[in-house]
Amino acid sequence: MIQLVDLWKTYRLRGRETHVARGMNATFETGSAVALLGRNGAGKSSLLRMIAGTMDPDQGDILSTGTISWPVGFSGSFHPDLTGAQNTTFIARVYGVDTAELRDFVEEFAELGQHFHQPVRSYSSGMKSRLAFGVSMGIRFDTYLVDEVTAVGDASFRRKSEALFSERMESSSAIVVTHSLPLVERICDRVAVLEDGHLTFFDDVQEGIDHHQNNLS
């Protein structure tokens, strides 16, 4: 379970304010895959990073039980001068999992070929996302934070990614940021819509999608 308690976060750029969280109070229940929807610039990725602990709120607390992944697709997870294999080994040691087992899993799953043994700074954004998704899904977390990464790659890779994600959801929770509404319908059982620093939850997925689309119109 993840609780947001009186959370505040505001960006100020060229005199304009963007509110990611304005006294936000919310609970992401254990055992649920929640789609986090909102217009571009609403702060969805920033909210994920605050939940992961890689970004600080201006005020408020984030309380959690269990382990939480980093935001999948966040390139800051990797050291650019290390290879994909070396980054994977380092992360395995940090999280206390078998290094060879995780490295073998990621090498096979991410389909990077020889690039897996080349520096991450040489990767395209798609390759970084494949690596991030493979490493994250290769480690068992209680809650996975996923940011649009299942859209990476060709149709075959997307199907493989979605199948692996669904398998992990049998025993874990997730917060998923995506622009693919069909994907939300397939893999999520709740929707949270972020608008002007506030979250609105929907237990009915279609109702949440409709609310999001109304905000865009």
Closest CA to 179 of 76, 39, 18, 29: 39
Compute the half-sphere exposure of residue 178: CA atoms within 13 Å on the CB side of its CA: 26
Check: CATH 3.40.50.300 for 2-216? Answer: yes
Q: How confident is the model at residue 99 (pLDDT cuts 50, 70, 90)?
A: very high
Output the pTM of the full model.
0.86
**CA gap 120, 79 in Å, rounded:** 7
pLDDT at 151 over 80: no
The pLDDT assigned to 74 comes to: 57
**CA gap 103, 101 in Å, rounded:** 6
The pLDDT assigned to 200 comes to: 97
pLDDT at 38 over 80: yes
**128 CB contacts (<8 Å, ≥6 apart)?**
73, 75, 78, 120
Q: Report CA-CA distances (Å) from 210 to 148, 206, 207.
A: 20, 6, 5
pLDDT at 135 over 70: yes
The pLDDT assigned to 51 comes to: 96
The pLDDT assigned to 82 comes to: 97
Q: How confident is the model at residue 61 (pLDDT cuts 50, 70, 90)?
A: very high
β-strand partners of 4: 26, 62
Under the phi-then-psi rule, with left for phi > 0, alpha for psi from -120 to 50, and beta for the rest, what region is 202? beta
What is the pLDDT averaged over residues 35-43? Answer: 94
Range of lowest pLDDT (11-20, 30-39, 66-75, 184-193): 66-75
pLDDT at 73 over 70: no
Q: Could you report the per-residue pLDDT of 158-191, keeping only the tens digit for each?
A: 888 888 988 999 999 999 998 889 989 999 999 9
